[in-house]
Amino acid sequence: MKHLLPIILILSGIFAQSCIDCGPQAELSARIYFTGDSLKLDSVYALNAVSQEAIRLQTDNFTPQHYYSISLPISLVSDTTTYVFRFTERIDTLSIYYQRIFRYKGGCGFITDAKEPTTPSRYYSTFAETDIHYDTFVNTGLQPWINAEPAPGMSIFIRP
């Protein structure tokens, strides 16, 4: 019985800390959705990226469908990330613009976020149709215990 109280206190401390959403625990990424095309994606790379490994992992086991998505990291050293998409039949480019935010969040320390840029240009694309939606990568406040949803971040819809 005397050992039960310290265990309860330790577990309650762990559970209380796990409720605070401190934001993304990995590199920020853009979710890219492709619709209505049967092009086979061969590879994607980001210009001026230090490593292409995170992108390569997304495309190695990629299988085209009528509607599919990939998640690609965005640069945190620039307010622009440019991707080059190699398809079997063609090559396309997508540059996305955003504003990086580094701020202090109580209980978490400094966190990183990205939002819509202050410039009128939001992207440059050689695809037939591109649409980009910005949202925070950081949920505010406490998260529910079960089925916590991550913040949506940046979503890009492309029709090749």
Kindly give the confidence (pLDDT) of every residue in the chain, 160 residues in length, as a single tens digit, with 9 standing for 90 and above. 566 555 555 555 544 444 566 766 567 889 998 887 667 778 888 988 877 887 777 777 665 555 578 888 899 889 999 999 988 888 999 999 999 988 887 777 788 889 999 989 999 999 999 999 998 887 765 555 455 556 678 999 998 8
CA distance between the termini of the chain = 65
Is the backbone of residue 147 left (phi > 0), alpha (psi -120 to 50) or beta? left
User: Do 55 and 46 form a contact (C-beta atoms < 8 A)?
Assistant: yes
Q: How would you classify the pairing of strands 91-97 and 41-46? A: unpaired
pLDDT at 16: 47
27 dihedral zone (left: phi>0; alpha: psi -120 to 50; beta): beta
Give this prediction's pTM. 0.75
Angle, vertex CA 30, rays to CA 28 and CA 34, nearest 5? 160
